[in-house]
Amino acid sequence: MTNAPPRVRFAPSPTGELHVGNARTALFNWLFAKHYRGSLILRIEDTDQVRTSKVFEENLRQDLSWLGIEWDEGPGREGSCGPYHQSERFSLYRAHLERLIAADLVYPCYCTDEELEAERRSLLSRKLMPRYLGKCRNLTAETRGRLAAAGRPAAYRFHVPPGTITFSDLIRGPVRFEGSALGDFIIVRSNGIPAYNFAVIIDDQLMKITHVIRGEDHLSNTALQLLLYRALGFAPPQFAHHALILGWDRAKLSKRHGSTTVREFREQGILPQALINYLALLGASFGEGKEICGVDEIIETFSLDRAGKSGAIFDKDKLLWINSLYIRKESPQTLAGHMQPFIKEAGYGHLDETRLYRILDAVRDNIASLAEIGPYLRIFDDSVYELSAGARQLLADDETREVLLILLGLLNNTDAADDELYGTLMPLLSEKTGLRGKELFMPLRAAITGKTKGPELDRFFSILGKSSLRYRLHKAIAATT
């Protein structure tokens, strides 16, 4: 690493919701920038005017912010290398195309889609790799003039020189491509739209990108991009191609494997910290089998080499497990913040903060995702209190009824504060009934919560308080007579 702070970029095409694979690329770039005290640039690759949408772009920006991946330059954070939307940079691409035309390194190609498709099929039928065979490469000036005059639209192709293209990838080591296998490729389409490989190298150059970190599906693009760097006299950045996230069948993770977007996981109640932890961990560990790591430590210990070496299978259960650990760890305030949409959806948006924090604290050990909160809010709500079939069964004997009556009596005669009820009344109840452990707790739990399982009983005493406990005991007693 040179001394100058590195500049990396995340360059999504807003043609869909942010896929976890792309989020992982964004994360690696962000971690790299943070680790080496460099900058992350967000560049929106929106040249495809048909598939691109502003809604996807807005969602993408929200998703990155939700994950805590903040960019130093990009939309909304203007720097000296903007604009940061490719759609606003066409004049830059045009100027560089002119340079390549003047240097005779590109040529106009008049082939129609049908002609190109026929060539492709013919190569495939002969078991040859499909590529452009160079039909328009050596057209005479006269032929070009005639085709242009006839109104035939021209794309511009880069004339690939023979020879090998090699580079040293920061993750994969030495990589080698044969120029002869590539075929002359389009850099500007006949409709004037620059192709990805062309726009991307101009942007990476002008935005002073020092390291390109992206998925290994772009490896063959890098060969083409290196040719363009050379042709334009630019020094290329360093490249790091990380392995991709795979589905259970080891194919690239896609919709048919289930949920794949950051938005889906957010809507399913995954915490951003948990998703970051999981995406950073995937395919590696934080050393000595460590799997849970806060973001500061992830930044501190980040290494490209470890991060993206081998393809890793996305395991939803593991993500949920990590999520459950983060749910236990977060402060009630942070947890409540992330849980708000789920709390509202369950109809408890009005709960006062203190009560909500106490409930969250009481139930957090029982849930693996924020989306599971609904039933846990309901068990603290008197207006929907009811006995489950299992609870009824537990309560259906005279001895239990007696226990409940004794507790009711104790409640009526105590002046202990709500927080002290459990500690004060339980020893008395045990003494009076001669019952201990499960024999005592099971029927009490059934009566007080209406359920046979759930959070610790002491929490119910302090959160519900005297009047609510009395209300529930009355109901339980009535239901068992």
Q: Which of 256, 252, 257 is nearest to 319 (CA)?
A: 257
**10 Å Cβ neighbour count for 8?**
25
**Of 96 and 214, which CB lies nearer to ligand GLU in the complex structure?**
214
Starting at the edge strand found earlier in the chain, the sheet holding 238-242 runs 39-42, 7-10, 211-215, 238-242
Nearer Cβ to ligand GLU (204/330): 204
For ligand GLU, the closer of residues 218 and 230 by Cβ is: 218
Phi-psi region of 455 (alpha: psi -120 to 50; beta: other; left: phi over 0): beta
Q: Which is nearer to ligand GLU, 21 or 455 (CB)?
A: 21
- Give the nearest distance from C-beta 25 to ligand GLU in angstroms: 7
Q: 54, 127, 255, 309: which one is catalytic?
A: 255
Place of tokens 């009711």: 408
Name the site residues for ligand GLU (rule: CB under 6 A): 11-13, 45, 200, 214, 218
Which is it for strands 155-158 and 173-178: parallel, antiparallel or unpaired? unpaired
CB of 200 to ligand GLU, least distance (A): 5
Minimum separation from the CB atom of position 232 to ligand GLU (A): 17
255 is catalytic: yes
- Least Å distance between CB 45 and ligand GLU? 4
Cβ proximity to ligand GLU, 172 vs 472, nearer residue: 172
Query: Nearest-5° angle of CA 22, CA 26, CA 27?
Result: 115
Closest distance of CB 73 from ligand GLU, Å:
16
- What are the residue numbers of the active site? 255
